[in-house]
Amino acid sequence: MHYEMRISPAMTGTDDTAGLAFMKMHGAGNDFVIIDSRGRDAVTSAPLAAAMGDRHLGVGFDQLAEILEDATGDYRLEFWNADGSRAGACGNASRCVADFVMSRNGRSNVTFTTERGLLAACRRADGLVSVNMGPPVCDWAAIPLAEPVDHLHLPIEGDPAAVGMGNPHCVFFVPDAEAVDVPCRGAAMEHNPLFPQATNVEFAALTGHDRLRMRVWERGAGVTLACGSGACATAVAAHQRGLTGRQVTLVLDGGTLEIDWRDDGVWMTGPTMHVFDGWLSAEFLARYP
């Protein structure tokens, strides 16, 4: 499918030199604003990201991804959370951007330079998009944690595990993920002192052979319908604890993701959806330089 960003200035009341075009996409319900800044400097700032992330006064998203030119990968991606903070990695956003650029250039693979490193993405024969999120980070200092502890058994009630996937994750294995009060427990855990950079929080239950039900609280975003890096971290922790193999299916609130922990990194595969194209007005942009 070929996507074009077709915006009518007449519909927005702006001239064609003002404002800013964007796309809205989601991967398994994990929703994103995507700004294509190839051929120009980055336009996103913390105030603008927070304003756009407001679901009442802006556009609303879990994360924002900005596409930029790059000398190493095919493109560079910069990620922002809905509260205006930066995100080092975003797996589902990477898959959405990969779907967009591969649909435009006719290729079946693409690479992105991110804070996480160089990520490779491809389109499978079944049309789903995969991204290699790189090797998991299990060293306490690199996750990072505030002190040297066993990353698979943190000294926190509930015996969670910690895994880094370009951002920190705290994974709780629970009997029933549906019974967890994610807003309460996630918010309480996000800024636990053991995580100096705060953390994403996952709650996962084993529901079958190599199958997990997972719900998530994302750092800087709150409850989301899916989290790609969180799914990767949960699958890694589940395998390291002996609960699953290295190929795991995770059922999230917004859809299903497939995780395959290979020698070259943790691959994540799932659906993507281009929802709509939009246009930020010059008036809106002027308020958030």
Distances (CA, A) of 168 to 7, 14, 34, 48, 102: 38, 41, 23, 24, 29
Cα–Cα distances (Å) from 288 to 45, 49, 51, 66, 233, in that order, read: 8, 9, 7, 17, 34
What single-letter amino acid sits at 83?
D
227 assigned to active site: yes
What SS3 state is found at 186? helix
Instruction: Using alpha carbons, select from 145, 133, 134 the residue that is nearest to residue 170.
Output: 145
The DSSP annotation for 138-150 comes to: --TTTTT-SS---
Task: Output the six-digit token pair for 1.
Answer: 């499918």
- Exposure of 117 in the CB half-sphere (CA atoms within 13 A): 13
Q: Which of 96, 122, 170, 227 is catalytic?
A: 227
Out of 90, 96, 122, 232, pick the active-site residue. 90
- Contact status, residue 234 vs residue 214, Cβ threshold 8 Å: yes
The closest of 266, 259, 186 to 219, measured between CA atoms, is 186
- The verdict on whether 138 is a catalytic residue reads no
The residues carrying an active-site annotation are 90, 227
